Amino acid sequence: MLDRYAIKVIRWPLTTFSALPDKLGITANQVTVTGFVIGLFALPALALEAYSWALGFIVINRIFDGLDGAIARRQGITDCGGFLDITLDFLFYSMVPFGFVLANPEANAIAGAFLIFSFIGTGSSFLSFAIMAGKRNIESPVYKQKSLYYIGGLTEGTETITCFVLFCLYPAHFATIAWIFGALCWITTVTRIWAGYQTLKEA
């Protein structure tokens, strides 16, 4: 829901900072993989309840995720880059709640499992529609520079990262936040299925 506004805020700094790696010959895919590897360190940090460190790794991962797109727009957007980016994003998203489950299984396991279950809903509806939209050459009216059709929803990237930040700042309330955000994700899933079906039916 907030991605279209967040993109306008971060577009200029990302475009500016993407000039240096582009000049150095660093590819967007290299930035994608590097950001993912850095993000992986959030898992042991969460499991050890080192939440400040985990937050740092999460933030760096998300900065790299924005930077790789800016570099790709300079160097040329590719299907393999889009595939790599979205795949590693969804793996990272599911990793974070898993880390909180490892930190405190008794308190967080069910809520964490529900949130990952909810991510399956948002992710599958997102990717399934993107595949069908690509086959029918349906272009996104909002995210025209993306390699995939980004169908919107109540919970998008901006909301997800906000949720992760809240997790790290208030780890004792992980379960409550996870239940609430998971429910919002299911609203997103239902609306995406409905909107996606209607769009493809009309097309």
Whether the predicted pLDDT of 144 surpasses 60: no
pLDDT digits (tens, 9 = 90+) for 56-77: 999 999 999 999 999 998 998 8
The full set of domain ranges for the chain reads 3-202
| Cα distance between residue 31 and residue 10, in whole Å | 17
- Residue percentage of the chain with pLDDT more than 70: 94
| Cα distance between residue 18 and residue 126, in whole Å | 27
Reported pTM: 0.88
| Cα distance between residue 83 and residue 24, in whole Å | 24
Dihedral sign from CA coordinates of 84, 89, 92, 93: negative
pLDDT digits (tens, 9 = 90+) for 109-128: 999 999 999 999 999 999 99
Q: Phi and psi dihedrals of 62, rounded to 5? A: -70, -35
Tell me the H-state helices in the chain.
Answer: 3-17, 19-23, 28-40, 42-47, 51-75, 79-103, 105-135, 157-169, 174-202
pLDDT at position 145, please? 58
Nearest to 119 by CA among 82, 164, 155: 155
pLDDT at position 161, please? 95
- Residue percentage of the chain with pLDDT more than 90: 67
For the chain, what is the mean pLDDT? 90
Q: What is the CATH number of domain 3-202?
A: 1.20.120.1760
